[in-house]
Amino acid sequence: MFKKIIVFTSCFLFFACAEDNGKITYVEDLTTLKNTSSGRVIGFKHINNSTAWFGIPYAKPPINELRWRAPQPIENSEEIIKAISFSDICFQNRSFVDYSEEKENYIGSEDCLYLNIHSPRNLSGNENLPVMVWIHGGGNTTGAGSGYDFSRLASEQKVIVITINYRLGPFGWFYHPSLIETSNSEEDKSGNYGLLDQILALKWVKKNIKEFGGNPNNVTIFGESAGGHNVFSLISSNLASGLFHRAISQSGSTRTTSIEDASNYVDDEINPGWPTSSKEIVNNILIGYNGAKDIYEAKILQDSMNNSNLKNFLQSLSSSEIFDTYEEKIVAGMFNVPRIIADGYVLPKEGMKFRRGQYNKVPTMLGTNRDEMKLFFALDEEFVTSFANFIIFVKDKEKYEIENEYASNNWKISGVDQPARKLTKSGNPDVFAYRFDWDEEPTYLWMDFSKIFGAAHGFEIPFVSGSLEFFGFERFIINDKSRPAARELSNSMMSYWAEFAYSGNPSSGRKKDLEKWQPWQNGPGKDKFIVLDSTNDKGIYMSNSELFFGDELQRLAEDNRIGDIKIKCEYINNLKESGNKSNFTLEECKKL
């Protein structure tokens, strides 16, 4: 039982628990045959009165000479593509979500640029339905589009939902001189290959979705966690202009990585790079595969190599040989590599500032969950006592709640309040914010999951999709008592999301029977965000509160619940590192 609990937790951290690792095959239905730029595709009748097409290629396999290059459109296939099973997921670390018997450290393939389509069944052929393109999360180092079932959202709300794969980790984001200086393409030189994959997928949607009953002039991009981060990136990229018309960021971020951080050596005297910068990784590769004895020799060798030869050498390595060089801490498959690179072409050099006239101005929804960080704390031995990876109980309940409060508020400031203020100030009147508060998990034995998880990171996804499925572990999350209200909340959230896709304003939902969702308004006392909770608790209501980094720092300084000054200073540093430019520091912290 307990193993299932921890696996469930890791599924959400990974955000891509595909059915049987994506290998289920369905029976094709001849009535689903469609003509696309990839070739003729045939799908199948799926669950919840939906139709689906899984594993449609939208780009050439990014392998061999196309590794670390901008994705190329797929050539039209003369054979019918049987889109009845998921493609391979993109190459990534193995984690709890893989249930195969294989023992390798890695799963997936570099040949992974495919998409999946969910549609209402029995369309007449004359529909012009809104299109929603889901961008999965997983730290941009793990995950897959096949991990999400949007059949209910598609069929009940009459929308077309597409999920996509994009390159991950060092295959998705890698900025190195040997790659930059051996191409004349600005896209190739950007290092943002995973983001370019998403842009090409949107181009495929624009070109082909009418064949499936979708409106190419009404496309909503939506994603969670790293997917929400990517949504903000697409809003900021000129290359994505005109490819989408609404945007939803769920628990996203607006951080970017500089070219210097992504590529320079860590000992660069002027602009030191990350420990996992491209040059440092190439050093590791040269030590492992090219005879350099140590970092010193590897650096000399790398600096002396011809760019073309080095590029060819890197492209000749196997996927696992590249991943083997990363020694960063891995959490549920995720690890820290430079990504979302502010290269000056795909993304502005100054990052995501949302200045007037300098981003894709579309109606935008953004939100976080009240207890974002509890999911991560529940996996951390600092916070929980565990045996054989089984969560047993929280060590210090007060510390658990305090750290979650500040860290989750910090996430809300970075992912909602601050970008909402910027977007509104830039002249976008259609900014809608939310906070997901549902926390009605049951108590099982001595474990109160409403306290362990609460409204944790990723828990809103089954409500948005309508599945209310937590990868087979529903009884630990939703019980008979909470299920009716959870279903009611899910129906409301699907209605809001769909109405936003239809009109650019969630308003009162598709049936006009919900609490009216007001846009974010700058200024004290004005409407800010809607709270999404079940009728068993406080229900759905608007709030006029907002958070600022400076206020959080001051509140933290005055918080008498935290007696240890070292812990308080650590909290302050965490807040400042998240993007706050305040010089505020406790005098006691300066002495440590």
d(CA 43, CA 28): 5
What's the sign of the alpha-carbon dihedral 112, 113, 114, 115?
A: positive
Residue 370 has phi, psi (to 5 degrees) of -55, -35
d(CA 353, CA 336): 23
d(CA 65, CA 58): 18
E-strand stretches of 437-516: 443-444, 447-448
d(CA 344, CA 149): 36
Active-site annotation holds for 372: yes
Q: Which residues pair with 239 in a beta bridge?
A: none
Query: To which residue do tokens 């009418």 refer?
Result: 210
Question: Among the options 457, 460, 492, 552, which is catalytic?
Answer: 457
According to DSSP, the β-strands at 341-342 and 364-369 are unpaired
Question: Tokens standing for 580?
Answer: 């706050």
From the list 160, 252, 176, the residue with the least C-alpha distance to 208 is 160
Write down the number of H helices and E strands in the chain.
Answer: 21, 22
Question: Among the options 372, 403, 405, 440, which is catalytic?
Answer: 372
Query: To which residue do tokens 């994705």 refer?
Result: 71
Spell out the residues 6+ positions from residue 364 whose beta carbon is closer than 8 angstroms to its own: 235, 246, 247, 248, 249, 423, 428, 430, 431, 432
If you compute the radius of gyration of the chain from its CA atoms, what whole number of angstroms results? 24
Question: Among the options 38, 87, 95, 225, which is catalytic?
Answer: 225
CA dihedral 23, 24, 30, 35 (to 10 degrees): -40
Active-site annotation holds for 457: yes
Q: How many residues does the chain have?
A: 592
Active-site annotation holds for 102: no
Q: For 80-133, what is the HEC assignment?
A: EEECEECCCCECEECCCCCCCCCCCCEECECCCCEEEEEEECCCCCCCCEEEEE
d(CA 451, CA 247): 32
d(CA 41, CA 504): 31
Catalytic positions: 225, 372, 457
